[in-house]
Every structure is written in structure tokens, then in C-alpha cells.
Amino acid sequence: MKFDKPATDNPIDRLQVVGQPHDRIDGARKVTGTARYAYEQHDVVPNQAYGYVLGAGIAKGRIASIDLDAARKAPGVLAVVTAKEAGALKKGKRNTARLLAGPEVEHYHQAVALVVAESFEQARAAASLIRVEYAAAKGAFDLKAAKDKAVKPEGDDPSLDDTHVGDFAGAFATAPVKLDEIYTTPDESHAMMEPHATLAAWKGDKLTLWTANQMVAWGVTDMATTLGIPKQNIRIVSPFIGGGFGGKLFLRADVLLAALGARAARRPVKVALTRPLMMNNTTHRPATIQRIRLGATKEGKITAIGHESWSGDLKGGGPEVAVQQTRLLYAGANRMTAMRLAELDLPEGNAMRAPGEAPGLMALEMAMDEMAEKLGLDPIAFRLLNDTQVDPEKPERPFSMRRLDECFKVGAERFGWSRRSARPGGIRDGNWLIGIGVAAAFRNNLVMKSGARVRLDANGIVTVETDMTDIGTGSYTIIGQTAAEMLGVGLDKVVVKLGDSDFPVSAGSGGQWGGNSSTAGVYAACVKLREAIAQKLGINSTEAVFSGGEVKAGNRSLPVASAAEAGPLSGEDTIEYGDLDETHQQSTFGAHFVEVGVDVATAETRVRCMLAVCAAGRILNPKTARSQVIGAMTMGVGAALIEELAVDKRRGFFVNHDLAGYEVPVHADIPHQDVVFLDETDPMSSPMKAKGVGELGICGVGAAVANAIYNATGVRVRDYPITLDKLL
Ligand code: MOS
């Protein structure tokens, strides 16, 4: 189905199942431990052996020699694989560094060997017997030091280009009120609960991988490239994923090494990356240095807005696209954005929840707060004064829907914005200085081609199959709701099967496009199935109404299951998008409100309450969507206050490589959270009229916390995370 015109009325609009706050249909399996994650696939193939990954002990250089003798002779060892044993390997298109080092080492903890043994403990013990001699080379590990050598990112992606509108320099120079500040955000780790894990099994030249991967089809393609085998010979199965946040968008060492280990040991092999390997072996969100310049009239109209961002990555990698939102969020006639990329020898940087906007808004929305204060304006009033209904860089392009103003107004009312003291340090509660902060939330709404297959059997059971994944987001549930709505059956009559490359290729889980795009694919497949059912029953499909388990047309009414009496019926289709997202800018919007208390003596900061108001199209399931947003808000608090990969600038690695050293918020850190969704449908986004929300929830949170801290204390910290030492 080609989606190239705004959606009109369709069966989803009935909202009998879609839009309802259903519990997760996979919830019971998850809490009873019967949902099998990659490392728990104990019984899918017999005779499983265990692999243990050894990571490189240097950040850059060469392996001079590697002695495997003792490891090979250790008890229970079945095979040891290094680059030498692996033979020729290519690199998947989506990997910057190779997944197996040797002889070159590109980053710390890049895999250098896999030991396969009868048990995990034997594999780990044997790995400790491997002797590697390195010839270390000098690397670049310090973004600040490398900044001046940073260059314009290469590649044909136009979003990496500098943008210029009007005369930024001239307008900034002559602006009556201006701000010019530098903000920094640190390297961050996805730190998802389930580490990367894979079970690999070969049958002849066919390889099956039970793994934790957000993008099944990308994984198949990149694995085929890496091993130099046909795509048809690879099956990826990824039914349950314990968090991804972008860290599982791409193949990592566990997948490749499980496959190589299984080939060497001639047995199925499972590999999980241990927690201490995660931070340096896999990807992370790169640190940024951002310069923001704002110029405005005395009345508060922005006349000049400039945003530059510097980040680093391995050779061949890409930048953190932190200027993305600044191109679209506020009006202003004279504008510029630019990104510069420095070559660093730290582990590979890549997408983490709302790549670009999450760190970009931490800078921009703090700058907006500072500018409001310079202008003597209320921070919300200043933002509304510079709101826009068109793409500020291309005024002929309207937003498909933009209700940022309403997000602020609804939020201000609900949160009690009027109790905020405009003067910092104006409110005190015992030892706590109390502050309130706000920030805009903004994230682009991307749409992706997505396929599905739907089958109806004689018992009236509807089975949906798509390679879409559920990374904790609720995909199973909203996909089930979509099929139930389209076929007029209860959710209990729908079986959803996900995460298998044998199923039609979906949008996958990334960039907050998964919910809208994958359900739109299911919608398209259901349209096909409805036609097949109507035809079978001799009903004109345009007249048929599917409701209450029946198909009705005129005065006829038949059980939907009766169409499948002679055998199951199925429909398969893929939603594809025309240029509606070119003619109209599609984005999601919100406003974050945060209240903090800062201890007057110790500067300990406690978030006291939070509110997010989101305008993100139709909300397919308010319960799972809310869960996405509160999770994202929590992650935003982490980014504001505690999360930071500490770089060892001499040796080039992230020092805090476990959850004791890399701190993420726990329940005790998070107080009352409230989420409001504005009631809206966006007909430009898909037949579902939905948009993404899973990344919107983190966008702006960091700045709202920072602004609340400033409001509480009068101390402006532009260097995240805002730890107490920076406040004293
Ligand atoms: Mo998201 S960072 O594209 O999984």
C-alpha cells in the first residue's frame, strides 16, 4: 500500500481496540519468565556450548603476538577463535569498527578472541590464560583537544551539511540582546538491562541466530556481508529484547563471534557480552561540545540563531547530529547550524535514544532559558513568542501538525507554573532550595517502509507475522490491537509473532518510527485480508463492515471465521510512503516541567516531580505510550544529573564500565511523574495517524532539570551531568 495522500476515515478511527489502554499481551510471559530472551533459548537446539569474549587491552595499535596454547589445553575448551582462525571477514555497512580485532586494534575492548567451552565458567577461565602482546600506538582520546582539528562530516547525507539562512553573522552582531555560550554533554552508555547476547547454530551452510537485535533485516544483511555468505542462508530470531535504546540497532561482537565459534566448535554456541565489556565493546552516545548564539530584539523576537556542535568518532564514523532540532524549533530570519567531527580512538559512537535531539536540546533549551532571563521574559512566554507553524529554514514547508504552544499551556496549568519564582533562589523548603524548570520537547517523526502478513483460521484466530521487534516498547500489543480493530475481533483472538527474519520485513525498532510504521504495515496487510474474506463470502469488500467477530454487508451478517472454513486465508502487504514527509515537516512536540530541590549545604539535587505534555499524533495505547514516556523522562534525569562515561585520556577507554560505576537513576531517584497526551491525529503520518513517542519523552528533559536547578540556586552549570561538585 502506498501512503501518498493524507489519511481519510478508516476502520482504525472506530477506536474500539486501538487507542485503548490495554495491558501488554506479552506482559504475563515476561513477568513469569516464560518469554525467552536470546541467552535463555535453552531448548531450541541441543548440545549448546558457551563462548567467552576477550576484549583488547589497548585502545589503538597492533596485536604483536597471541599465545593460545594454555587456553586450548584448559578443561572443557572446544575451540578458540581469533582473527587468524576466522579468516577473511568483511565489515557490515553499519559497523564503523570491525567486530573482531587483529592484527589491528581499533578501540579498547574490541574483541580479540572467543573461547568456546562446555560451560561458561570454563570458557571464562580459559580466556584468562590467553597471552596477548600488544604494540600500542598513540591515539586521540580527548574531544576538547581534538576539537580544532575537527572537520565537516563526510558522506552524502544532506542532514550533515551546514545550513545558512539570511545573514546570521550580521544579525547576531547587531542584535540588541544576545547570548553566546558553550555547553557540553558527556559520552553516555545505553546501559540496557539485557546485555547483547546471541545463540548461533549452523546446519550445513545455514546459520540461525537467536539474538537481541532491534533491526532484524539490517542484521541479516550485515551478517551476510561480514561472513561473505548469501542472505538466504541466515535467519535471525529476536522475539524478546531486554532494552535496546539504539545499542542493538546494529550487529555487535556477540553475533559474529557466536557464529564463528559455532562453526569452529561444530556445535551451537551462545555468547553474552559480560557487563564490563558492554561500555567499551559496543556503541555509545558520543560527547558533544556545543556553541549556541542567540540574538533577539528587546521585545524577545529571535533575529539570529546559531548552533554549532563538535563530536568525535573513529575514522569512518559519524557525528552526533546535535543541531537537528535547532533547524526546526524556533522562528528567526537569520540562522546557521554546523557540525564538526573529530577523529577519536575511543569506542564506536552511534545512535542512542533520540540521537541528535537528546543532547542537542540539553544545550538549546538551556540557552533559551538563559536568553529569557536576559530579556526579562518568562521562559514559556519567550518560547511562544518564537513559535512557528512552518519550517524556519524553508518557510514554504508547513509542519503537518504542531501544537507546541498547547503543550506549554496545558503543562503550565497542570504543573502550577505560576508558583515558580522568577528570581533564582526565591523558594526554600527547610534545607532545600526549590526550583522549577521547563523545556520544549522536539523530535522528528520518521516513517519507514514496513511489511506484515496476517492469517485468519477457521477458529477465528488472527495471526500476525512481521519481523518487527519489541524492545520493551509494547510493539506486540499495539500490533495486536491494530489487527483486532481492522478485522473486528477481540484482542484475545489475535496472535502476534515478531522478530523473525522468516516474516515480512518491517520498519524495525529505531528512531521512534517503529510504532507508527509497523502498525501501518499491519493495517495494509489487514486491508488485503479483509478483501480476501469479503471475496470468499461473496460480499462487496467496500461495503463490508468488520465488527463483533462478524462481517456485515447490507442485511447479511456472517461470522468472520466462516470465511476460513475451507482453509486459512491470508493477506500480506507493505506500507510504503510517498513524499508527504517532504512536503510537510513531520515532528513530535512536547513540554517538560521539572521541580527540583537542591540541598543548600551539600548541593545534593533531588527531582521532586515531573510532567511531560506530548503532542505526538494518535496514541495507539495510552498505557504503553505512557510507559515509554516515563522511561524516557527517567533516562533524561540520568543524563542531567549522573550519567557519564569517564574517559581515561591517557589510555583511551571508558573507566566506569559497569552499573556500579556508570550510574543510572533508580526508583528512589524518581518521584511523581505525570504524562499528558494531547488528543490529536496526524493524517500525514500514516493510516494510523500516529507518530513516535518513545524518543520524544527524553528530548528536553535534561535542560528542564538544568533550568530547575538554576531556578533553585542561581548557579548555571553548562557542563553535563550537573553533579554536586559543579554547584558548590
Ligand atoms: Mo533508536 S537510538 O534509533 O534505537
Mean pLDDT on 582-593? 97
Query: How much distance in Å is there from the Cα of 203 to the middle of ligand 1?
Result: 33
Q: Strand runs (DSSP E) across 248-331, as ranges?
A: 269-272, 288-296, 302-313
If you take atom 4 of ligand 1, which residue's CA is the nearest one?
Answer: 246
Identify whether 695 is a catalytic site residue. Answer: yes
Residue keyed to cell 517503529: 514
- Closest C-alpha among 264, 263, 256, 309 to residue 282: 256
Which ligand 1 atom minimizes the distance to the CA of 249? 4
Residues 605 and 601: their CA atoms lie apart, in Å, by 11
Q: Which helix (H) or strand (E) holds 707?
A: helix 701-713
Residue 457 amino acid letter: D
Which ligand 1 atom minimizes the distance to the CA of 355? 2
On whether both 256 and 133 belong to a single domain, the answer is yes
For residue 183, tell me if it sits in a domain: no
Say yes or no to pLDDT of 155 above 90. no
End residue of a domain, out of 551, 579, 607: 579
Residue 440: pLDDT band by 50, 70, 90 thresholds?
very high
Which ligand 1 atom minimizes the distance to the CA of 214? 4
β-pair partners for 291? 182, 308
Ligand 1 lined by 351 (C-beta under 6 Å)? yes
pLDDT, one tens digit per residue, over 547-560 is: 999 999 988 999 99
Which cell is 717 given?
552549570
Ligand 1 lined by 214 (C-beta under 6 Å)? yes
Pocket test for ligand 1, best of 189, 249, 320 (most atoms within 8 A of CB): 249
For residue 339, tell me if it sits in a domain: no
Contact 122, 74 (CB under 8 A): yes
On whether both 457 and 556 belong to a single domain, the answer is yes
Residues 295 and 301: their CA atoms lie apart, in Å, by 8
Pocket test for ligand 1, best of 94, 284, 695 (most atoms within 8 A of CB): 695
Task: Give whole-number Cα distances, 389 to 261, 400, 685, in Å.
Answer: 55, 9, 17
On whether both 513 and 461 belong to a single domain, the answer is yes
pLDDT, one tens digit per residue, over 477-496 is: 999 999 999 999 999 999 99
Q: What is the pLDDT of residue 156?
A: 85
For residue 695, tell me if it sits in a domain: yes
pLDDT, one tens digit per residue, over 208-218 is: 999 999 999 99
- What ipTM was estimated for this complex? 0.96
Q: Residue 293 CB: number of other CB atoms within 10 A?
A: 19
Residues 467 and 294: their CA atoms lie apart, in Å, by 45
Query: How much distance in Å is there from the Cα of 512 to the middle of ligand 1?
Result: 7
Say yes or no to pLDDT of 437 above 90. yes
For residue 599, tell me if it sits in a domain: yes
Which ligand 1 atom minimizes the distance to the CA of 695? 1
3-state SS of 213-250 is CCCHHHHHHHHHHHHCCCHHHEEEECCCCCCCCCCCCC
Ligand 1 lined by 247 (C-beta under 6 Å)? no
Mean pLDDT on 581-590? 96
Ligand 1 lined by 190 (C-beta under 6 Å)? no
β-pair partners for 598? 433, 605
Say yes or no to pLDDT of 698 above 90. yes
End residue of a domain, out of 529, 557, 579: 579
Query: How much distance in Å is there from the Cα of 509 to the middle of ligand 1?
Result: 7
On whether both 29 and 50 belong to a single domain, the answer is no
Ligand 1 lined by 694 (C-beta under 6 Å)? no
Ligand 1 lined by 349 (C-beta under 6 Å)? no
For residue 312, tell me if it sits in a domain: no
Say yes or no to pLDDT of 98 above 90. yes
On whether both 69 and 129 belong to a single domain, the answer is yes
On whether both 649 and 560 belong to a single domain, the answer is no
Ligand 1 lined by 511 (C-beta under 6 Å)? yes
* Structural domain boundaries enclosing 597: 392-445+586-728
Query: How much distance in Å is there from the Cα of 691 to the middle of ligand 1?
Result: 15
Query: How many domains does one find in the chain?
Result: 3
Ligand 1 lined by 510 (C-beta under 6 Å)? yes
Query: How much distance in Å is there from the Cα of 251 to the middle of ligand 1?
Result: 14
pLDDT, one tens digit per residue, over 633-679 is: 999 999 999 999 999 999 999 999 999 999 999 989 998 999 999 99
Query: How much distance in Å is there from the Cα of 688 to the middle of ligand 1?
Result: 21
Mean pLDDT on 20-37? 96
Residue 583: pLDDT band by 50, 70, 90 thresholds?
very high
On whether both 66 and 132 belong to a single domain, the answer is yes
Query: How much distance in Å is there from the Cα of 637 to the middle of ligand 1?
Result: 18
Residues 3 and 343: their CA atoms lie apart, in Å, by 41
Say yes or no to pLDDT of 390 above 90. yes
End-to-end CA distance of the chain: 59
Residue 364: pLDDT band by 50, 70, 90 thresholds?
very high
Which ligand 1 atom minimizes the distance to the CA of 248? 4
Say yes or no to pLDDT of 425 above 90. yes
Say yes or no to pLDDT of 605 above 90. yes
Which ligand 1 atom minimizes the distance to the CA of 471? 4
Mean pLDDT on 586-600? 98
Catalytic residue among 188, 348, 357, 695: 695
CATH code where residue 84 lies: 3.30.365.10
Query: How much distance in Å is there from the Cα of 248 to the middle of ligand 1?
Result: 8
On whether both 112 and 228 belong to a single domain, the answer is yes
On whether both 226 and 108 belong to a single domain, the answer is yes
pLDDT, one tens digit per residue, over 350-363 is: 999 999 999 999 99
Q: What percent of the chain has pLDDT over 90?
A: 98
On whether both 126 and 218 belong to a single domain, the answer is yes
For residue 202, tell me if it sits in a domain: yes
Residues 358 and 339: their CA atoms lie apart, in Å, by 15
Ligand 1 lined by 350 (C-beta under 6 Å)? no
End residue of a domain, out of 237, 261, 281: 281
For residue 224, tell me if it sits in a domain: yes
Query: How much distance in Å is there from the Cα of 514 to the middle of ligand 1?
Result: 10
On whether both 78 and 195 belong to a single domain, the answer is yes
Return the CA Rg of the chain. 26
Ligand 1 lined by 246 (C-beta under 6 Å)? yes
Mean pLDDT on 394-406? 97
pLDDT, one tens digit per residue, over 168-194 is: 999 999 999 999 999 999 999 999 999
Contact 83, 123 (CB under 8 A): no
Residue keyed to cell 539490517: 218
Residue 357 amino acid letter: E
On whether both 76 and 216 belong to a single domain, the answer is yes
Q: Is 298 exposed, middle or buried (0-12, 13-18, 19+ CB in 10 A)?
A: exposed
Pocket test for ligand 1, best of 353, 357, 445, 699 (most atoms within 8 A of CB): 353
Upstream peptide bond of 622 is cis (omega within 30 degrees of 0): no
Contact 102, 83 (CB under 8 A): yes
For residue 243, tell me if it sits in a domain: yes
Which ligand 1 atom minimizes the distance to the CA of 509? 4
Ligand 1 lined by 244 (C-beta under 6 Å)? yes
